[in-house]
Amino acid sequence: MTITITVEKDGYYEVNGARQEPTVSLYVIPAASKLRRMLKDTKDLIVCPGVYDGLSARIAMEVGFKGLYMTGAGTTASRLGMADLALAQLHDMKTNAEMIANLDPFGPPLIADMDTGYGGPLMVSKAVQQYIQAGVAGFHIEDQIQNKRCGHLAGKKVVGLDEYLTRIRAAKLTKDRLHSDIVLIARTDALQQHGYEECIRRLKAAREIGADVGLLEGFTSKEQARQAVQDLAPWPLLLNMVENGASPLITTKEAEEMGFRIMIFSFATITPAYQGIKTTLQRLKTEGVVGTPEGLGPKTIFDVCGLMDAMKVDTESGGDGFVDGV
Ligand SMILES: C[C@](O)(C(=O)O)[C@H](CC(=O)O)C(=O)O
């Protein structure tokens, strides 16, 4: 038997001539709505590798991840060449996030780091508005002092509960005012300074205000991670897995079994980039060649970065840029 399915532009389709209602929207769904639906309609763990630039994001998409995470540490390292010490400002973060979030309009939703919100309530509000307009699907905002540092370093300090909640409130009011589905992730770094109970108190208070997801940074044991999921259930929690950081190694399988809903791997692409670049440059210095594996040429990189799509757009538009190939 032959089944002929014809899909129309608006999502209506015909099966052997019989017109069917669209079950899948072929329109671009805002990334924030996509992420929100993934959280609401499934029980799956959304695994988001940390990406820090266009190429790392493209590779994560090529491999087929359902979500991406823009790391602030990686953004600071790659755009500013600096350590994760509150040196990246809203402009740096938003510009990077906007580029990544818009690489593929049908691509995976992007969760982006928003650090402390970069100032008082007005700055938080401005940051949330800019992330929404940039097409970011979700963001986390934390309770470290403005002169923050990476969550996996010692010596962190957090602001008082009231100031933290002011940040969360400013974020919530802004996203509501703009009728955005952007997922608000409340992060606390209070574990080092105040202990586990205070973290739970802070996350519960953020949840009260309307934060969609919680993030307790820097778990010191697997038991603690599991406990947090239980103490805050059924509120979804995000786990930040930084290998060789402050926390024990937790796999995606373990995180799923513990009940986490989102898992980010902040250093998933920047550490291998460091490793690969350094080894290669050492070889160049000592042996005089880069030593690129056979078959891996400029086109490989351009293919990952949308060469085929670009050629298609040009050709379909009547352009002649690629009549002789590339
Ligand atoms: C998640 C994080 O905010 C990031 O920028 O990726 C960092 C990661 C890191 O520096 O270890 C954090 O955990 O503070």
Q: pLDDT tens-digit profile of 33-56? A: 999 999 999 999 999 999 999 999
Assess whether 305 and 261 both reside in one domain. no
Assess whether 81 and 162 both reside in one domain. yes
CB 32 within 8 A of CB 137: yes
Our mutation pick for probing the ligand 1 site, out of 69, 84, 148, counting the most ligand atoms within 8 A of Cβ, is 84
Helix (H) or strand (E) holding 13: strand 13-15
Assess whether 190 and 105 both reside in one domain. yes
CATH of the domain at 37: 3.20.20.60
Separation of CA 284 and ligand 1 centre (Å): 32
Q: How many domains, in total, are found in the chain? A: 2
pLDDT digits (tens, 9 = 90+) for 46-84: 999 999 999 999 999 999 999 999 999 999 999 999 999
Count of alpha carbons within 13 angstroms of residue 174, beta-carbon side:
23
**Residue 288 included in any domain:** no
Assess whether 322 and 248 both reside in one domain. no
pLDDT digits (tens, 9 = 90+) for 139-165: 999 999 999 998 888 999 999 999 999
Distances from the Cα of 222 to the Cαs of 9, 85, 129, 267, in angstroms?
49, 27, 36, 20
> What is the pLDDT at residue 28?
81
Assess whether 189 and 246 both reside in one domain. yes
189 CA closest ligand 1 atom index? 14
Query: Backbone dihedral region of 257: left (phi > 0), alpha (psi from -120 to 50 degrees) or beta?
Result: alpha
261's tokens: 């809903």
> What is the pLDDT at residue 21?
67
**Residue 2 included in any domain:** no
Assess whether 192 and 141 both reside in one domain. yes
Assess whether 181 and 300 both reside in one domain. no
**Residue 20 included in any domain:** no
> What is the pLDDT at residue 309?
94
CB 70 within 8 A of CB 110: yes
> What is the pLDDT at residue 116?
97
CB 269 within 8 A of CB 51: yes
> What is the pLDDT at residue 93?
98
**Residue 300 included in any domain:** yes
**Residue 19 included in any domain:** no
pLDDT digits (tens, 9 = 90+) for 252-298: 999 999 999 999 999 999 999 999 999 999 999 999 999 999 999 99
User: Percentage of the chain with pLDDT > 90?
Assistant: 87
Assess whether 73 and 182 both reside in one domain. yes
pLDDT digits (tens, 9 = 90+) for 194-210: 999 999 999 999 999 99
Residue count (the chain):
326
Show the ligand 1 pocket: residues with CB < 6 angstroms: 50, 71-73, 84, 113, 150-152, 217, 240, 242, 245, 266
Residue 221 has pLDDT above 70, yes or no: yes
Assess whether 217 and 302 both reside in one domain. no
Mean pLDDT computed over 19-38: 81
Residues 6+ apart with CB under 8 A from 246: 151, 152, 218, 219, 220
**Residue 11 included in any domain:** no
CB 259 within 8 A of CB 227: no
Assess whether 153 and 264 both reside in one domain. yes
The one-letter amino acid code at 167 reads: R
Question: 240 pLDDT band (50/70/90 cuts)?
Answer: very high
Our mutation pick for probing the ligand 1 site, out of 100, 266, 267, 274, counting the most ligand atoms within 8 A of Cβ, is 266
Our mutation pick for probing the ligand 1 site, out of 115, 153, 217, 242, counting the most ligand atoms within 8 A of Cβ, is 242
Q: What domain range is 106 assigned to?
A: 31-274
Assess whether 303 and 230 both reside in one domain. no
> What is the pLDDT at residue 11?
64
Separation of CA 34 and ligand 1 centre (Å): 24
Mean pLDDT computed over 95-105: 97
Mean pLDDT, the chain, integer: 94
- Is 0.90 exceeded by the ipTM? yes
86's tokens: 């509150």
Separation of CA 143 and ligand 1 centre (Å): 13
Separation of CA 250 and ligand 1 centre (Å): 16
**Residue 285 included in any domain:** no
Separation of CA 175 and ligand 1 centre (Å): 24
Separation of CA 208 and ligand 1 centre (Å): 25
75 CA closest ligand 1 atom index? 5
**Residue 280 included in any domain:** no
Chain centroid offset of residue 180 CA: 17
Residue 8 has pLDDT above 70, yes or no: no
CB 15 within 8 A of CB 61: no
How many Å apart are CA 106 and CA 92, to the nearest integer?
Answer: 24
Residue 108 has pLDDT above 90, yes or no: yes
Separation of CA 165 and ligand 1 centre (Å): 21
Assess whether 204 and 309 both reside in one domain. no
